[in-house]
Structure 1
Amino acid sequence: MYMRETILKIEKNERLLDALKRDGKEMLPTRCIINKTLTGIGATYCELTSNRDSIIVEPNVPVIEGKVKKHKNQVLGVYAGITGQDIERYLQKHKTRRKIIVTPESFQRMKETLQELGIDIYNEFFLLFDECEKLVQDIDYRETIELPMKDFFLFRNKAMVSATPLIASDPRFEEQGFTMLRIVPNFIYHKKIKLIVTNNILESFLEEAEKSPANICVFCNSIDTFESIFCELPFEMQKQVTTFCSENSMDKLTYIHSKNFKRKASSFIGKLSRINFFTSRFYSAVDIEPSRPPHVIILSDMQGAPQSAIDPATEAIQIVGRFRNGVKSITHISSIKEDLEYYTEGASQLYLEGSLRAIETIRNLYNRAMSEGEKGTYLQALLGISENQYLNEDGTRNEYKIANFYNDQRVKGLYTDANKLLAAYQAVPSFKVDFQPRNYLFSDNDRLARQRAKTRKWRAELLLRQLEKISHLRFTDDPRKKEFYERQTSRLLHTPFDNTLFDCYRLKGADYLRSINFRESEMLRSLKRKSVQQLKKCPAVTHGIHKLLETGKEYTVTEVSTVLTNVYKKNGIPVNKRVSATEIDNYFETSSKRNRKERSILIVNRKQTIYKSCRKIKREA
């Protein structure tokens, strides 16, 4: 598809409207695809403040909510829940410079409402499709994003805009004389990005998070990856997490329902937490304006969720562009999946063109068929061909789905080889790459195997194998290796059962655990041979108590006694009815308060010496 391109230079600190005015334009030009190159230079602002009626299609609701909030009482946002009466009231109040921002799914409903009011939308309104690359990127799982395109070319004045446009070979662009306006920065604008290619995205993420004092904003295409990583985070870090996602995605998160403490999940961007997870609906157009620039981490979990592959040429640029006040640093952490199936550019074209020819052949045979049996068989063949998805209902090519297929194969190919991913970043003018490959003793597959184990016995076997893998470091004199051993051990143990298995493994060995078939009752029975005081110092007990009682909080004596009693019982420590609350002083520094009803205990600080004592006991064992 041929499209004439014109170039417009933009200076540092200029807005798009400034550059347009220097070129003699007061507003966004019509029949144009605007490649603005830079995010946050005010393309939608330019249209929202223009002296004409405008309809702006935005891919996601959070974008609309943000724009409406910024232009209070001047702009109408139309999405699920906004009625025809809401639209009518807005139009009655605003007779000129009417500005409507709408999702693709609500476009038809908005159009019908305007037409029922006698408005000729095709001639009275300028139509802008913002973040137009989403048409190509999202249509494979969100067919409704294409709905406005049935009307787009009917508007007398229209345009598309993005800092990272992906344009389908829709013949109507050429038929209507569309041009490409490319904005070229007249200054150095690239940002530094650290590219970490690793076999363990969790370890790399924790290393980056622990050394960054700034708030961390984590972007990933997979809710499952967020779930998997969250479950492995240290308890104190878990409490500092907020997840921003759609309402549907929120339903999939199990970790927001924990009774032990509060976690946050939201579809609205408010105040940032220490760690913030963002799903793909926040990649484009949303303005995030924290008080301090954050550390941005992009995750591509190719072992656990291949759909989390991020395109360096589009999505990575858009993610960084969300932060209008800049970012402190950018890191992309990715695994590589060498056996990921994909088509090269040439193979993609041969495959798809061949498939479409085959469909056309079968359709012709169906049309020429003489008997019902023939027709039925050809029809079944047609309906069973998955490549039909690349065709419209009338049998014509759907260029947006075809462009999606080519783009998807291109991005997949990058994640089969670290050098391909690096080269893709090096080809993007927006980034200057610091490449840091990292490999660890345990991989993503080790973590995923534990998490996906269908039985507790199989999970116990996997956990034991990983404990055996690092057992040679148990008595090392090297401080770094010792620290590594303790860190890895803490990463592996998440439940009372895990801690019991670990204690029993250190005491009795791997062969014993397998001989008793990992029965928890047998493990606890063997651990009871140690003194009660030794058991009370075990990591399973101290971890369990530290997990349930938070520093800085005040608890009644009854609450403290209940926690101690339950943790002791779970770990096989003999309990005579109820444990005295005074034993909490073995685990925390505390202070007591008394009121008319009951004495309370303030948890001041954890006593770290318990862990040292526990290691000493186990070494002797």
Structure 2
Amino acid sequence: MHNITFDKEIVFPIEITRFTEIPEVNPIPSNTIIYKTVCGLGATHSEIVSKRDSIIILPHLSIVKSKHNDPKYKDSTFAVHGEVTVEQVYNYLASGSAEYRKLLTTPAGLKKIIKATQLTGLNYKSSFFVLIDECHKLIQDAGYRGDMLEMMENFFQFDRKAMISATPIPPSDSRLVEQKFKHYKVTPDFDYKKGIKLINSNSVISSLKQHINENPSECYFIFFNSVSGILSLIKQLKIKRDVKIFCSEEYKNHLKDKGVKYAHSLYDGYTKYNFLTSSFYNGLDINIADVVPNVIIISDCSFGNHCIVDPFTDVLQISGRFREIQDLPLVHINNVSRYITPLNPDESKDEIVKSKKAYETLSGLKTSFIEQDNIYFLDQALKTCKPYFNLLDENGNYSYFLQDNYLDENRVSQYYSSTSQLMSAYVGTTLFKLKEESVTFNKDVCIKLSHHKVKYLKASNKNSVATLQDLEAIKGTDTYYKERLRILNVFPITFNAYERLGIEKIISLNYNRVKMQNELLELDIKEKKNSYPLIDLINKTFQLNKSYLVKDIKKKLQELHDILGLSSKAKSTDITLYFHIKPYFNHIDSKSARAYILMERKYNSCNELAA
């Protein structure tokens, strides 16, 4: 995956079972990235018991709460997350009740700790050792979590700090070199490979159903990073009871609104069928003594990049959740697709360079533009410069973590372009003893998963609109602003429809997300808030990693031209102006027809709600 030159390689024998028994990394040395190779060594534990004040940053709320609620750590740690105030952190720090202060926090919680430390009069930069645990999530989650980027700005200010994971993805941020970070690898000298069965299938659900029927068990743990996909699995498998979904607090609340009572945001024990999303399992300890669970990982390419797993990181992390089980039955069911055609590493880097040039050219024009009333034309044009614009943080600065996220997503997507690519990736990890099986189901018995957007279900949209209406009665209060902001962050389309279209229009649209989205786009065009509506309509109409017949492309493009009243005639080759494409021949009724696979968009949508 990555060619890394390690500054130190530490090998430990089978007799060592805890991180605290490895002197070279106990206590964890400052300015290091530690590749610990295997999960379950107790690296987090080693920092909790170390004789120094520590801040331990964990990727998700569920892990912070899980670690803090562990009887071993309940009295020796303080958990910082969304529900905890700066004042509460200050009281903990000022109380002097602990010999060594140990704060477990989400990335967003680091700001609260810094503020609280400043209130105590301490210098936060020198007072704590900061450890980022499961540091691979820095890059994997950077694309959609602003709290990760903000946390890293603060992280580099601390005098003593380190990152650790069994599966780190080396960051390219120049500050790591400037601050002389070293790469340490910790490896056992015994066979630590885990057995896994790779099932390549044309139907994920059919293969899952078959696997469960052929391998009866008291307990299944099924890892799939889509809540809507999990609901579809439960429905297709006809599971009526003994089921739990472990997911984020946000999705737990969505499911609760939908009447789903078996969703949990904290691990509280297992049942027969246990479904977990990726926002839940990283860093989690699942201790099961009385049964050997059957562990199933699902990658469904039709659900997009977020629903495929990386053999180098995700699969090891999943297998590492089960601490005490040696011979864990582990299966990865996938439906690799020839339509997955991501850019290779060189092409991805080239796109960054080309889009950067376009961005800088437009930025130069903007500074010299005389007609300030029309400056919004250039502002919107800047937003379309993909991928470079996507790699800028909220302050407009280039983020190496967003860059690494973009390159990493393309890397993982490549594995799912063919069964041989995925197999090669597994072999390249050197982490698994691999068995492979390919299964093809007849089309008449093939079951497909449904994947509607859970958070924009009609019931959720209806509840959000009702809440916005109720809030008008307390307009001006803190609750009014706080609740409106929450709805805006979680349901931006519904919020904007309420504000701009009005309740009567939303009702006439039957609370439908797509219809609200289309109405908002039309309103943008009418109010001249969108100078590039064709880009938005094309991005909405055409899906990535899907093949389209050339004749159908021309027809769809002409329909969009007609909607906007454009006089120009659409050509099928116009699609190359908006997408990187791959020529393809589709076979229909024994005849070959020209088609294109759409690999990647060349432009962002001007209106983020249209994407």
Q: Same fold (TM over 0.5)?
A: yes
Measured after TM superposition, the shift of residue 176 of structure 1 is 0.7
Residue aligning to 2:363: 363
Measured after TM superposition, the shift of residue 375 of structure 1 is 5.0
Residue aligning to 1:230: 234
Identical pairs, percent: 29
For 2:286 and 2:447, the matched residues in 1 are separated by 35
Which one-letter code corresponds to 2:436 in the other structure?
Answer: F
- The one-character-per-residue Cα deviations of 1:478-515 (angstroms, maximum 9, x if unpaired) are xxxxxxxxxxxxxxxxxxxxxxxxxxxxxxxxxxxxxx
Residue aligning to 2:91: 89
- The one-character-per-residue Cα deviations of 1:69-109 (angstroms, maximum 9, x if unpaired) are 22121100100111233223322043531000110112112
- The one-character-per-residue Cα deviations of 1:251-290 (angstroms, maximum 9, x if unpaired) are 44489737xxxx6221121221111000112231111112
For 1:54 and 1:254, the matched residues in 2 are separated by 36
Contact 1:127 1:159 in 2 (8 A): yes
Which one-letter code corresponds to 2:81 in the other structure?
Answer: Y
Q: Choose between structure 1 and 2 for higher RCO, CA contacts under 8 A separated by at least 6 residues.
A: 2
Residue aligning to 2:401: 400
Contact 2:202 2:335 in 1 (8 A): yes
Measured after TM superposition, the shift of residue 123 of structure 1 is 0.4
The answer to which of 351-360 and 30-39 deviates more is: 351-360
1:122 to 120, 125, 128: 125
Residue aligning to 1:277: 275
Measured after TM superposition, the shift of residue 120 of structure 1 is 1.2
Residue aligning to 2:287: 289
For 1:375 and 1:450, the matched residues in 2 are separated by 40
- The one-character-per-residue Cα deviations of 1:444-491 (angstroms, maximum 9, x if unpaired) are 975348999xxxxxxxxxxxxxxxxxxxxxxxxxxxxxxxxxxxxxxx
Q: How does 1:115-514 map to 2 (within 5 A)?
A: 115-210=118-213, 211-234=215-238, 237-253=239-255, 257=259, 264-291=262-289, 292-326=291-325, 328-372=328-372, 375-387=375-387, 388-393=389-394, 395-442=396-443, 447-448=448-449
Contact 1:32 1:180 in 2 (8 A): yes
Secondary structure of residue in 2 paired with 1:68: helix
Measured after TM superposition, the shift of residue 304 of structure 1 is 4.2
Which one-letter code corresponds to 2:288 in the other structure?
Answer: P
Contact 1:227 1:255 in 2 (8 A): no
Contact 2:6 2:185 in 1 (8 A): no
Which one-letter code corresponds to 1:207 in the other structure?
Answer: Q
Which one-letter code corresponds to 2:87 in the other structure?
Answer: Q
Secondary structure of residue in 2 paired with 1:197: strand
- The one-character-per-residue Cα deviations of 1:4-39 (angstroms, maximum 9, x if unpaired) are 521111222424534532x4x641000000111111
> Alignment length, in residue pairs?
444
Measured after TM superposition, the shift of residue 63 of structure 1 is 1.2
Secondary structure of residue in 2 paired with 1:299: strand
Measured after TM superposition, the shift of residue 250 of structure 1 is 2.5
Residue aligning to 1:595: none
Q: TM-score normalised to the size of structure 1?
A: 0.68
Contact 1:200 1:442 in 2 (8 A): no
For 2:348 and 2:452, the matched residues in 1 are separated by 35
For 1:248 and 1:444, the matched residues in 2 are separated by 35
Measured after TM superposition, the shift of residue 415 of structure 1 is 1.1
Secondary structure of residue in 1 paired with 2:144: coil
Residue aligning to 1:76: 78
Residue aligning to 1:611: none
Within the alignment, does 1:44 sit opposite 2:44 as a pair?
yes
1:165/1:444 CA distance change after superposition, 3 Å = farther
For 1:247 and 1:441, the matched residues in 2 are separated by 39
Secondary structure of residue in 1 paired with 2:129: strand
For 1:449 and 1:311, the matched residues in 2 are separated by 23
Measured after TM superposition, the shift of residue 305 of structure 1 is 4.7
- The one-character-per-residue Cα deviations of 1:226-260 (angstroms, maximum 9, x if unpaired) are 111111113xx4312111112321244489737xx
For 1:165 and 1:115, the matched residues in 2 are separated by 32
1:15/1:86 CA distance change after superposition, 3 Å = farther
Contact 2:135 2:165 in 1 (8 A): yes
Contact 2:58 2:64 in 1 (8 A): yes
Secondary structure of residue in 1 paired with 2:301: coil
Measured after TM superposition, the shift of residue 376 of structure 1 is 4.9
Secondary structure of residue in 1 paired with 2:346: helix
For 2:383 and 2:301, the matched residues in 1 are separated by 32
- Computed over aligned residues only, the root mean square deviation of the Cα atoms, in angstroms, reads 2.5
Structure 1, unpaired ranges of 5+: 453-621
Within the alignment, does 1:56 sit opposite 2:59 as a pair?
no
Contact 2:129 2:161 in 1 (8 A): yes
Measured after TM superposition, the shift of residue 303 of structure 1 is 2.4
- The one-character-per-residue Cα deviations of 1:413-435 (angstroms, maximum 9, x if unpaired) are 11121111111111112111100
For 1:343 and 1:99, the matched residues in 2 are separated by 43
Contact 1:202 1:444 in 2 (8 A): no
1:430/1:213 CA distance change after superposition, 3 Å = same
Secondary structure of residue in 2 paired with 1:52: coil
The answer to which of 275-284 and 155-164 deviates more is: 275-284
Residue aligning to 1:523: none
1:249/1:443 CA distance change after superposition, 3 Å = farther
